[in-house]
Amino acid sequence: MTAEADERDSPAANPCARTRSRGPFTVVEVSGEIDMATADLVVEHLDAATAVAEPDVLVDLRPVEFFDCSGLRVLCRAERRARERGGRLRVVSDGPRIDRLLRASGLLGRFPPLRVLPAQAERRER
């Protein structure tokens, strides 16, 4: 699937998420407050990003202002879907709030945050 096709097939941007292609990666940029009331807005983007074979998804949480256990549930579900399809999902975060949340929830090992979006050359060899 081409980058143009990926973007055409992506859900429309909403107040909490937008999807774009960056080289071989699908980047889901999450912003605002992610809680029980808004988590489904992120789900639609992550479901689309992980619906393909061997997805390589980057979830950019740098613009997030608030993120609770509803957001963690969404991440865990999407990461499992990516693995089931032979792919992966990684988190991009440069702030201590997300690190603390991942550490406190025991998910830091599952989602070790990248500090910046990786270069295209960092695509995993298949």
Query: Does 116 map to a domain?
Result: no
pTM of the model: 0.89
Report CA-CA distances (Å) from 94 to 14, 60, 61, 66, 113: 23, 10, 8, 14, 8
For 87-109, letters b (16+ CB in 10 Å) and e give bebbbbbeeeebbebbeeeebbe
CATH number at residue 103: 3.30.750.24
| pLDDT, tens digit only, all 126 positions of the chain | 444 444 557 899 999 999 999 999 999 999 999 999 999 999 999 999 999 999 999 999 999 999 999 999 999 999 999 999 999 999 999 989 999 999 999 999 999 999 999 985 455 544
Query: Does 44 map to a domain?
Result: yes
- The residue range of the domain holding 93 is 3-107
Task: Give the per-residue pLDDT at 17.
Answer: 98
Query: Does 35 map to a domain?
Result: yes
Q: If 0-12 CB within 10 Å is exposed, 13-18 middle and 19+ buried, where does residue 5 land?
A: exposed
Query: Does 40 map to a domain?
Result: yes
Query: Does 118 map to a domain?
Result: no
Q: How many domains, the chain?
A: 1
Query: Does 13 map to a domain?
Result: yes
Query: Does 63 map to a domain?
Result: yes
Residues in contact with 108: Cβ distance below 8 Å, sequence separation at least 6, in sequence order: 99, 102
Query: Does 115 map to a domain?
Result: no
